[in-house]
Structure 1
Amino acid sequence: MSVDDGVQVLEDELAGLAEMLTAPRRGECLLCFTNRMLVEFGCDRTLRWARRYAQLRSPHAYALRRRLARHGAFCDCEIFANGWDVTVPTVRDPEHGAECWPPEVTGCRRVRTGSTQPCSLWALRRPGTRLR
């Protein structure tokens, strides 16, 4: 095997790993996926993660970007700053003092395949409650 072949094998393995790390989980909703990706990889001021979810789970969701924009979400982090919030009260982590979900909230409450609707963990923010 040449050096070029070895590099190609490594690139293929890394691409496969990146694909696996950034794929929606089975039944995971758009917002739970986007939140998980933001925690892991941050926001690049685009709808990168929302678009990725739609490409993989709901390729015919043509109006998703418009629907998010109607709620002030022009990038992934604005989905949560301006559009949606968790429906369960947050708690303080006794060890670090950080605000977090309570222990009984262990992940997405699931949606049907192909849906871009949020699961029941999320609700639209009331007007005037947007984060700035």
Structure 2
Amino acid sequence: MGLDKILAISGKPGLYELTAQTRGGFIAKSLLDEKKLAVNMRHNVSILSEIAIYTYTEEIPLGEVFEKIKEKENGEETISHKSSKKELEGFFSEILPDYDEDRVYASDIKKIVQWYNILIKNGFTDFSKEEKEQTKDGEE
């Protein structure tokens, strides 16, 4: 499973896994407490594979940022999202030295760190997009 099945739902804590589609939306399972949630069109939903982080030269997909964190932390959890703003920004500048400080806020960094830790706790370590994996399989 790639990041294209992992969702962030505004107003709801944590991350969700897309489990089934319904007529008016879909069913998502919380990665925090395993509870299922019916999501409809009034919810603002972001798919993690569609999120990118601004740098001074380009936009880096969130999956690549997660990969860089994973390399730095050897696949383990990283600092807490409750760390100070200064600690979070220092950590993030180690991961992505050219991130655009004017467009990437401390709250964004906090979410990224929290999401990464949630994914690692749930045994999720493949941060590539599903399409890329299928392309690689097709080429071999």
Q: TM-score, normalised by structure 2?
A: 0.28
**Considering only CA atoms, is the larger Rg found in Structure 1 or Structure 2?**
1
Larger proportion of strand: 2
Q: TM-score, normalised by structure 1?
A: 0.29
